[in-house]
Protein backbone atom coordinates (compact mmCIF):
# COMPACT_ATOMS: atom_id res chain seq x y z
CA UNK A 1 0.00 0.00 0.00
CA UNK A 2 1.26 3.47 -0.78
CA UNK A 3 0.02 6.85 0.46
CA UNK A 4 0.34 10.43 -0.74
CA UNK A 5 3.69 10.56 1.04
CA UNK A 6 5.16 7.65 -0.93
CA UNK A 7 8.81 7.87 -2.02
CA UNK A 8 9.19 7.16 -5.74
CA UNK A 9 11.98 5.67 -7.83
CA UNK A 10 12.30 3.49 -10.92
CA UNK A 11 14.53 2.13 -13.66
CA UNK A 12 14.90 3.88 -17.01
CA UNK A 13 15.74 1.59 -19.92
CA UNK A 14 14.92 0.90 -23.56
CA UNK A 15 13.64 -1.72 -23.54
CA UNK A 16 13.06 -2.16 -19.81
CA UNK A 17 10.81 -5.20 -19.81
CA UNK A 18 13.69 -7.58 -19.02
CA UNK A 19 14.90 -5.57 -16.01
CA UNK A 20 14.77 -7.43 -12.69
CA UNK A 21 15.17 -4.18 -10.75
CA UNK A 22 11.42 -3.60 -10.15
CA UNK A 23 11.12 -7.10 -8.66
CA UNK A 24 14.27 -6.64 -6.61
CA UNK A 25 13.38 -3.22 -5.19
CA UNK A 26 9.72 -4.20 -4.84
CA UNK A 27 10.76 -7.17 -2.70
CA UNK A 28 12.75 -4.88 -0.39
CA UNK A 29 9.95 -2.28 -0.22
CA UNK A 30 7.53 -5.01 0.92
CA UNK A 31 10.08 -6.59 3.28
CA UNK A 32 10.79 -3.29 5.06
CA UNK A 33 7.17 -2.05 4.92
CA UNK A 34 8.24 1.15 3.16
CA UNK A 35 5.70 3.66 1.83
CA UNK A 36 7.20 3.81 -1.65
CA UNK A 37 7.18 2.47 -5.20
CA UNK A 38 9.79 1.49 -7.80
CA UNK A 39 8.53 1.36 -11.37
CA UNK A 40 9.83 0.36 -14.84
CA UNK A 41 10.23 3.36 -17.16
CA UNK A 42 10.50 2.49 -20.84
CA UNK A 43 12.07 5.57 -22.46
CA UNK A 44 13.50 5.99 -25.96
CA UNK A 45 17.03 7.44 -26.12
CA UNK A 46 15.88 10.77 -27.62
CA UNK A 47 13.56 11.31 -24.64
CA UNK A 48 16.00 10.32 -21.92
CA UNK A 49 17.03 13.81 -20.74
CA UNK A 50 13.45 15.12 -20.76
CA UNK A 51 12.34 12.05 -18.81
CA UNK A 52 14.96 12.59 -16.09
CA UNK A 53 14.04 16.28 -15.72
CA UNK A 54 10.36 15.34 -15.51
CA UNK A 55 10.97 12.68 -12.87
CA UNK A 56 12.80 15.25 -10.79
CA UNK A 57 9.94 17.75 -11.14
CA UNK A 58 7.44 15.03 -10.28
CA UNK A 59 9.17 14.48 -6.98
CA UNK A 60 10.94 11.20 -7.67
CA UNK A 61 13.80 10.50 -5.28
CA UNK A 62 15.90 9.18 -8.16
CA UNK A 63 16.23 6.31 -10.59
CA UNK A 64 18.38 3.53 -11.89
CA UNK A 65 19.60 3.80 -15.46
CA UNK A 66 20.20 0.80 -17.66
CA UNK A 67 21.02 0.03 -21.30
CA UNK A 68 21.27 2.12 -23.48
CA UNK A 69 21.19 5.24 -21.29
CA UNK A 70 24.21 4.91 -18.95
CA UNK A 71 26.48 7.22 -20.98
CA UNK A 72 23.68 9.77 -21.54
CA UNK A 73 23.09 9.78 -17.78
CA UNK A 74 26.80 10.42 -17.24
CA UNK A 75 26.61 13.47 -19.52
CA UNK A 76 23.44 14.80 -17.87
CA UNK A 77 24.45 14.79 -14.20
CA UNK A 78 25.18 17.97 -12.24
CA UNK A 79 27.42 16.04 -9.86
CA UNK A 80 29.32 12.80 -10.35
CA UNK A 81 30.57 10.42 -7.68
CA UNK A 82 34.16 9.18 -8.19
CA UNK A 83 32.72 5.78 -9.17
CA UNK A 84 30.85 7.38 -12.08
CA UNK A 85 33.86 9.39 -13.22
CA UNK A 86 35.98 6.26 -13.26
CA UNK A 87 33.35 4.25 -15.13
CA UNK A 88 32.35 7.12 -17.45
CA UNK A 89 28.82 5.78 -17.03
CA UNK A 90 26.03 6.26 -14.48
CA UNK A 91 23.58 3.61 -13.30
CA UNK A 92 22.16 5.39 -10.24
CA UNK A 93 20.62 8.88 -10.12
CA UNK A 94 19.73 10.66 -6.90
CA UNK A 95 17.82 13.95 -7.08
CA UNK A 96 19.07 16.30 -4.38
CA UNK A 97 17.92 19.93 -4.05
CA UNK A 98 17.11 20.17 -7.75
CA UNK A 99 20.44 18.66 -8.79
CA UNK A 100 21.09 15.33 -10.49
CA UNK A 101 23.75 13.32 -8.68
CA UNK A 102 25.10 10.28 -10.51
CA UNK A 103 27.06 7.28 -9.36
CA UNK A 104 28.00 3.90 -10.72
CA UNK A 105 27.37 1.02 -8.33
CA UNK A 106 28.50 -1.85 -10.59
CA UNK A 107 32.02 -1.85 -9.18
CA UNK A 108 30.93 -1.79 -5.54
CA UNK A 109 28.26 -4.41 -6.31
CA UNK A 110 30.94 -6.68 -7.73
CA UNK A 111 33.22 -6.16 -4.72
CA UNK A 112 30.41 -6.73 -2.20
CA UNK A 113 29.40 -9.91 -3.98
CA UNK A 114 32.96 -11.20 -3.71
CA UNK A 115 32.98 -10.43 0.01
CA UNK A 116 29.62 -12.17 0.43
CA UNK A 117 31.28 -15.28 -1.04
CA UNK A 118 34.12 -15.02 1.46
CA UNK A 119 36.59 -13.69 -1.11
CA UNK A 120 38.77 -10.75 -0.09
CA UNK A 121 38.69 -8.58 -3.23
CA UNK A 122 42.07 -7.08 -2.40
CA UNK A 123 43.78 -10.40 -3.09
CA UNK A 124 45.13 -10.04 -6.55
CA UNK A 125 46.26 -10.06 -9.21
CA UNK A 126 42.99 -10.04 -11.13
CA UNK A 127 42.49 -11.02 -14.76
CA UNK A 128 39.53 -9.15 -16.26
CA UNK A 129 38.21 -10.72 -19.48
CA UNK A 130 36.55 -8.07 -21.65
CA UNK A 131 36.99 -4.35 -22.17
CA UNK A 132 33.44 -2.95 -22.30
CA UNK A 133 31.51 -0.92 -19.74
CA UNK A 134 31.38 -3.69 -17.15
CA UNK A 135 35.12 -4.35 -17.43
CA UNK A 136 35.75 -0.64 -16.89
CA UNK A 137 33.57 -0.41 -13.75
CA UNK A 138 34.91 -3.63 -12.21
CA UNK A 139 38.50 -2.95 -13.22
CA UNK A 140 38.36 0.53 -11.70
CA UNK A 141 36.93 -0.80 -8.42
CA UNK A 142 39.69 -3.41 -8.19
CA UNK A 143 42.43 -0.90 -9.08
CA UNK A 144 41.08 1.56 -6.50
CA UNK A 145 41.30 -1.23 -3.91
CA UNK A 146 45.00 -1.57 -4.75
CA UNK A 147 44.68 -4.77 -6.79
CA UNK A 148 46.98 -5.48 -9.75
CA UNK A 149 44.67 -5.79 -12.77
CA UNK A 150 45.27 -7.19 -16.25
CA UNK A 151 42.69 -6.71 -19.00
CA UNK A 152 42.36 -9.35 -21.67
CA UNK A 153 40.05 -8.74 -24.61
CA UNK A 154 39.42 -10.31 -28.03
CA UNK A 155 40.06 -6.88 -29.59
CA UNK A 156 43.35 -6.24 -27.83
CA UNK A 157 43.51 -2.52 -28.61
CA UNK A 158 40.35 -1.94 -26.55
CA UNK A 159 42.06 -3.56 -23.56
CA UNK A 160 45.19 -1.49 -24.17
CA UNK A 161 43.15 1.71 -24.37
CA UNK A 162 41.20 0.85 -21.22
CA UNK A 163 44.36 0.10 -19.26
CA UNK A 164 45.92 3.38 -20.47
CA UNK A 165 42.83 5.24 -19.24
CA UNK A 166 42.14 3.68 -15.86
CA UNK A 167 45.31 1.76 -14.98
CA UNK A 168 46.44 -1.84 -15.13
CA UNK A 169 47.95 -3.69 -18.05
CA UNK A 170 46.62 -5.37 -21.18
CA UNK A 171 47.47 -8.86 -22.38
CA UNK A 172 46.53 -10.65 -25.60
CA UNK A 173 43.33 -12.71 -25.80
CA UNK A 174 45.22 -15.88 -26.75
CA UNK A 175 47.26 -15.61 -23.54
CA UNK A 176 44.23 -15.87 -21.24
CA UNK A 177 44.55 -19.54 -20.30
CA UNK A 178 48.32 -19.39 -19.82
CA UNK A 179 47.90 -16.28 -17.65
CA UNK A 180 45.57 -18.02 -15.16
CA UNK A 181 48.38 -19.44 -13.03
CA UNK A 182 49.61 -15.87 -12.33
CA UNK A 183 46.25 -14.66 -11.05
CA UNK A 184 44.14 -15.13 -7.91
CA UNK A 185 40.94 -13.94 -9.53
CA UNK A 186 39.52 -14.16 -13.05
CA UNK A 187 36.35 -12.31 -14.03
CA UNK A 188 34.31 -12.80 -17.18
CA UNK A 189 32.79 -9.45 -18.19
CA UNK A 190 32.18 -10.49 -21.81
CA UNK A 191 28.85 -11.66 -23.13
CA UNK A 192 30.23 -15.18 -23.66
CA UNK A 193 28.28 -17.82 -21.74
CA UNK A 194 24.99 -15.93 -21.90
CA UNK A 195 21.97 -18.02 -22.86
CA UNK A 196 22.04 -18.42 -26.63
CA UNK A 197 25.72 -17.39 -26.93
CA UNK A 198 28.80 -19.55 -27.19
CA UNK A 199 30.61 -20.42 -23.97
CA UNK A 200 33.85 -18.75 -22.95
CA UNK A 201 36.75 -20.95 -23.97
CA UNK A 202 38.97 -20.99 -20.86
CA UNK A 203 40.78 -24.14 -19.75
CA UNK A 204 40.80 -24.06 -15.96
CA UNK A 205 42.97 -27.17 -15.64
CA UNK A 206 46.06 -24.90 -15.59
CA UNK A 207 44.76 -22.62 -12.83
CA UNK A 208 46.20 -22.56 -9.35
CA UNK A 209 44.00 -24.28 -6.74
CA UNK A 210 43.16 -21.01 -5.01
CA UNK A 211 41.89 -19.22 -8.13
CA UNK A 212 38.47 -17.57 -7.74
CA UNK A 213 36.35 -17.55 -10.90
CA UNK A 214 33.69 -14.84 -11.18
CA UNK A 215 31.15 -14.30 -13.94
CA UNK A 216 28.93 -11.27 -14.39
CA UNK A 217 26.58 -13.19 -16.69
CA UNK A 218 23.48 -14.30 -14.72
CA UNK A 219 21.31 -15.79 -17.47
CA UNK A 220 21.82 -18.70 -17.03
CA UNK A 221 22.51 -18.49 -13.30
CA UNK A 222 25.14 -21.21 -13.63
CA UNK A 223 27.20 -20.38 -16.72
CA UNK A 224 29.44 -23.02 -18.36
CA UNK A 225 32.41 -21.11 -16.89
CA UNK A 226 31.09 -21.36 -13.33
CA UNK A 227 30.20 -25.03 -13.80
CA UNK A 228 33.73 -25.68 -15.05
CA UNK A 229 35.20 -23.80 -12.06
CA UNK A 230 33.22 -25.97 -9.64
CA UNK A 231 34.17 -29.13 -11.55
CA UNK A 232 37.83 -28.15 -11.08
CA UNK A 233 37.30 -27.54 -7.37
CA UNK A 234 37.71 -23.77 -7.70
CA UNK A 235 35.65 -21.11 -5.96
CA UNK A 236 32.89 -19.80 -8.26
CA UNK A 237 31.16 -16.43 -7.79
CA UNK A 238 27.95 -16.05 -9.79
CA UNK A 239 26.72 -12.89 -11.50
CA UNK A 240 23.30 -12.66 -9.86
CA UNK A 241 24.89 -11.56 -6.58
CA UNK A 242 26.48 -8.56 -8.31
CA UNK A 243 23.07 -7.54 -9.67
CA UNK A 244 21.59 -7.72 -6.16
CA UNK A 245 24.47 -5.92 -4.45
CA UNK A 246 24.68 -3.09 -7.01
CA UNK A 247 21.09 -2.18 -6.11
CA UNK A 248 21.82 -1.53 -2.41
CA UNK A 249 23.21 2.06 -2.55
CA UNK A 250 20.33 3.36 -4.70
CA UNK A 251 17.67 1.85 -2.46
CA UNK A 252 19.39 3.29 0.62
CA UNK A 253 19.55 6.78 -0.94
CA UNK A 254 15.92 6.84 -2.16
CA UNK A 255 14.11 5.01 0.62
CA UNK A 256 16.31 5.65 3.66
CA UNK A 257 16.93 2.00 4.60
CA UNK A 258 20.08 0.06 3.75
CA UNK A 259 18.66 -3.24 2.51
CA UNK A 260 20.20 -6.65 3.07
CA UNK A 261 20.97 -9.08 0.25
CA UNK A 262 19.83 -12.37 1.76
CA UNK A 263 18.91 -15.89 0.65
CA UNK A 264 15.24 -14.97 0.30
CA UNK A 265 16.06 -12.19 -2.18
CA UNK A 266 18.22 -14.63 -4.16
CA UNK A 267 15.33 -17.08 -4.18
CA UNK A 268 12.83 -14.49 -5.44
CA UNK A 269 15.01 -13.09 -8.24
CA UNK A 270 16.49 -16.45 -9.25
CA UNK A 271 12.97 -17.88 -9.34
CA UNK A 272 11.93 -15.12 -11.73
CA UNK A 273 14.96 -15.73 -13.94
CA UNK A 274 14.14 -19.44 -14.12
CA UNK A 275 10.44 -18.85 -14.80
P1 LIG B 1 29.46 -3.87 -22.01
O2 LIG B 1 29.80 -2.44 -22.32
O3 LIG B 1 28.02 -4.12 -21.71
O4 LIG B 1 30.37 -4.49 -20.98
P5 LIG B 1 30.31 -4.56 -24.75
O6 LIG B 1 30.99 -3.29 -25.02
O7 LIG B 1 29.25 -5.01 -25.70
O8 LIG B 1 29.68 -4.72 -23.31
O9 LIG B 1 31.42 -5.65 -24.61
C10 LIG B 1 31.18 -6.97 -24.66
C11 LIG B 1 32.50 -7.70 -24.41
O12 LIG B 1 32.34 -9.06 -24.81
C13 LIG B 1 33.65 -7.12 -25.23
O14 LIG B 1 34.81 -7.17 -24.44
C15 LIG B 1 33.72 -8.08 -26.41
O16 LIG B 1 34.97 -8.16 -27.03
P17 LIG B 1 35.37 -7.16 -28.25
O18 LIG B 1 35.79 -5.87 -27.63
O19 LIG B 1 36.48 -7.84 -28.96
O20 LIG B 1 34.13 -7.03 -29.10
C21 LIG B 1 33.39 -9.38 -25.73
N22 LIG B 1 32.94 -10.40 -26.67
C23 LIG B 1 31.75 -10.48 -27.29
N24 LIG B 1 31.69 -11.57 -28.07
C25 LIG B 1 32.89 -12.20 -27.98
C26 LIG B 1 33.47 -13.40 -28.55
N27 LIG B 1 32.78 -14.18 -29.40
N28 LIG B 1 34.73 -13.73 -28.19
C29 LIG B 1 35.43 -12.95 -27.33
N30 LIG B 1 34.95 -11.82 -26.75
C31 LIG B 1 33.70 -11.45 -27.07
Residue 1, pLDDT score: 84
Question: For residues 114 and 147, what is the distance between their CA atoms, to the nearest angstrom?
Answer: 14
- Check residue 224 and give its pLDDT: 97
Q: For residue 109, which of 250, 12, 211, 269 has the smallest C-alpha distance?
A: 250
Over residues 38-58, mean pLDDT? 98
- Predicted pLDDT at 69: 97
Residue 206: per-residue pLDDT? 84
Residue 133 CA to ligand 1 center (angstroms) comes to 10
Across 41-68, average pLDDT: 98
Helix or strand run (H / E) with residue 114: helix 106-116
Residue 155, pLDDT above cutoff 90 = yes
Angle at 228 between CA 178 and CA 260, to 5 degrees: 110
pLDDT given at position 124 = 85
**Nearest atom of ligand 1 to the alpha carbon of 155:** 19
Read off the pLDDT band of 146 (50, 70, 90): very high
pTM for this structure? 0.95
The per-residue pLDDT for range 128-145, each reduced to its tens digit, is 999 999 999 999 999 999
Residue with the smallest CA separation from ligand 1 atom 26 is 192
If phi > 0 it is left, if psi is from -120 to 50 it is alpha, else beta; for residue 73 that is: alpha
Q: Is 133 among the catalytic positions?
A: no
pLDDT tens for each residue of 115-129: 999 999 888 899 999
In the chain, how long is the greatest CA-to-CA distance?
60
Distance 125 CA to ligand 1 centre (A): 22
Amino acid sequence: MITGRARLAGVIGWPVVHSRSPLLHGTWLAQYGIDGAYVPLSIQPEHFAACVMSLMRMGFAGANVTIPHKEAAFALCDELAPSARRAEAVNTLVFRDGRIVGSNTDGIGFMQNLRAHGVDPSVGPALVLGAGGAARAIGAALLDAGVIVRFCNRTEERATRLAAQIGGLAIGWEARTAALSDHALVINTTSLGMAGRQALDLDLARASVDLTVADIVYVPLETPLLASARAHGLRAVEGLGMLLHQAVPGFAAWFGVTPVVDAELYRVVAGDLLA
